[in-house]
Structure 1
Amino acid sequence: MAYWLLKSEPEVYSILDLKREGRAIWDGVRNYQARNYLMQMQQGDLCFFYHSGANPPGIAGLCRVKGTLLPDPTQFDPHSPYFDPKATRERPRWYTVEVEYLEAWPLVPLAELKACFPQDHPLVKRGNRLSVMPVPPEVAERLIARRGCR
């Protein structure tokens, strides 16, 4: 099993939205590195749900990968802001995963996460805006055990 961090702005899609729906496709990712990470995910992997753009930003809960290598449907929708005219159903360019809700947490703020993650990790590296990233197993296990880095 691997561990991942998925970022979403809470006013767009929050951990409470996922809780209400139970499952969701993690659509709209349009960064090749993030897409490549999505394509590496396996069923059963755990994901930390991170509220970006919040005040403060931080981990708000946990979800699990249920489906993998799904063509992102927004790439085919000409009315979507994530439409890609070069993508076809025969040759999709963007893939995603389906996740299921596990639990909401009291927010673990970025300031606390900086003490938990390696200094070169994309989450705590200044200027990094990657929306999907791996989490080292030792960090993930510590976060899950304590619901934070304390």
Structure 2
Amino acid sequence: MATWLIKTEPDCYHWDDMKRDKRTAWTDVTNAAAQKHMRSIKKGDITYFYHTGDEKAIVGICEVVKGAYPDPDHPGLTANGDPKRVLFDIKPLKEPKNLVTLKDVKNSGLLDDFLLVRQSRLSVVPVDPKHDKVLKKMMGM
């Protein structure tokens, strides 16, 4: 089981929307590097739901209920034969006891090589097990 961080603009899709919907397909990711990460997402993986914009914080935790599958609205294959765009489906699991902000991540001194810090523009990034352990502690889990 892998852990991922997925980002959303709260005015486009908020954690409250996720809780209300109970399940959603993660769509509209166009960046090639983020799509590459998405192709590795499997059923049972965990995602940290991160609000961008003014909040910049992990606000929820989700489970992947359907691993990566081709985006029916964007058919076609890459040069490697992979679907050009993929989606995955998630459901909300819980909220962290403590929100973990980007400032908290940067000030921790333990997450300097976390992709959220190093490649801050990507909307889907893997969470290394060592970073996952630190984040869980920061979230009070």
Name the TM-score class by shorter chain. 0.7 to 0.9
Kindly report which structure 2 residues correspond to 1:92-107, keeping only aligned pairs within 5 A, or say none.
92-105=83-96, 106-107=98-99
Give the one of 105, 110, 122 matched to 2:102. 110
Distance 1:61 1:6 in 2: 10
Task: Quote the Cα distance in structure 2 between the aligned partners of 1:117 and 1:12.
Answer: 31
Residue equivalent to 1:83: none
Which residue number in structure 1 is paired with residue 12 of structure 2? Answer: 12
Say if 1:3 and 1:134, in contact at 8 Å, map to a contact too. yes
> Unpaired segments of 5 or more residues in structure 2?
none
Q: Which of 116, 126, 140 is the aligned partner of 2:132?
A: 140
Residues 46, 65 of structure 1: 8 Å contact kept: yes
Matched with 2:117 is 124
**1:81-104 alpha-carbon deviations (Å, 9 max, x no partner):** xxxxxx48xx84201110111112
Q: Secondary structure of the equivalent of 1:141?
A: helix
- 1:62 matched residue in structure 2: 61
Contact map agreement 1:15 1:104 (CA 8 A) in 2: no
Distance of 1:102 and 1:116 partners within structure 2? 28
Structure 1 residues 116, 10: CA separation in 2 closer, same or farther (over 3 Å shift)?
A: farther
**Change in 2 beyond 3 A, CA 1:142/1:121:** closer
The gaps in structure 1 that reach 5 residues or longer are 77-86
TM-score where L is the length of structure 2: 0.84
Aligned to 1:80: none
Structure 1: 4+ residue segments shifted above 6 A: none
What residue number does 1:26 align with? Answer: 26
Provide the rounded CA distance (Å) in 1 between the counterparts of 2:5 and 2:110: 12
What fraction of aligned residue pairs are identical, expressed as a percent? 35
The offset of 1:148, in angstroms, is 5.6
1:118 CA displacement: 3.0
Q: How has the CA–CA distance of structure 1 residues 118 and 141 changed in structure 2, closer, same or farther, with 3 Å as cutoff?
A: closer
- Residue 113 of structure 1, CA deviation: 1.4
Scaled by the length of structure 1, the TM-score of the pair is 0.79
Report the CA distance between 1:137 and its aligned residue: 1.0
